[in-house]
Structure 1
Amino acid sequence: MKVKYLTCSLCNHFDAVNKKCSVLPFDTTSNEREYAGRCAAENRFVRNINVIPDYFNYFNDDEVPVCFEDDLSNLPKDENGNPLFVITKRGLERAIPADPEMKLTSSKFIGVEKIYTLQGQSELLQEIGYTQLQKLAFIKGTIISPLLEVQLKCV
């Protein structure tokens, strides 16, 4: 199904933890259509290809079918055939491993634990801080993503 409505959740500039746009000085929400449409018209909208479109990207509120399910069919699968996704404040996202050497495992209903994904670690960093993220990664037997480490050094 083709995305009918762009929303902030699909844009790379959207900070879901703080509910802000990093380009425009606006507080916003995941399902905000007006700002996303304006940004697209002005060539500021940058599609985050890892975000899986939600019902509000396809339907108006009064049109949503009762049986709507997110389309996870194009996602990579774990060894048990479960789609590899992570649930973040942005929505459902294709799970990108924090540790490139680790094989991700997913639950059909809750996906991959945040600590094992780049997106999850990025969100956890904002929520609990670097020290707690390090401790959690150690407890869970993973590393902090090298990509996240590089981003931290650039800040």
Structure 2
Amino acid sequence: MATPCKTETEDNCEYGILLDDRDRQSYKTVKIGSQWWMAENLNFETENSWCGGGSGMREGDCSVYGRLYTWAAAVDSICLAEQGLICGYGVEPCDLVAKVCGICPKGWHLPSEVEFESLIEIVGGQSSAGEMLKSASGWNENFGENGNG
């Protein structure tokens, strides 16, 4: 297991900024192990998206929580077609072993199972991944005292 880049007393992580050419929004990124991850929720608006963080029939604040996407919006993409794959709602089988660009900005893709497993391992395994990867702030308002994450 690798040493985490951020602890309670030190922050040796490598950070960056992703600029989404589609709408000029910028997102914080962080390198965890050898992988780069978005450190913020995507907020690119499509026909099949809505603001996260809402309750009941009310949408949340996209600037805080990002957007939520339908399955089809998340995975259907030109890059899948270029790889000879068809994937989306109601398409069986849907081989997500290939890189799925979907809703992601150019040069980015939805993480594969192998990439998620690597992330979980690098932050200490399944027993600690949730704690290590959750947000340290910003979630108390809607989710109570221990809602961060």
What TM-score do the two structures reach when normalised by structure 1? 0.25
Identify, as 1 or 2, the structure richer in helix.
1
Identify, as 1 or 2, the structure richer in strand.
2
Structure number with the bigger relative contact order (C-alpha 8 A, sep ≥ 6) is 1
What TM-score do the two structures reach when normalised by structure 2? 0.26
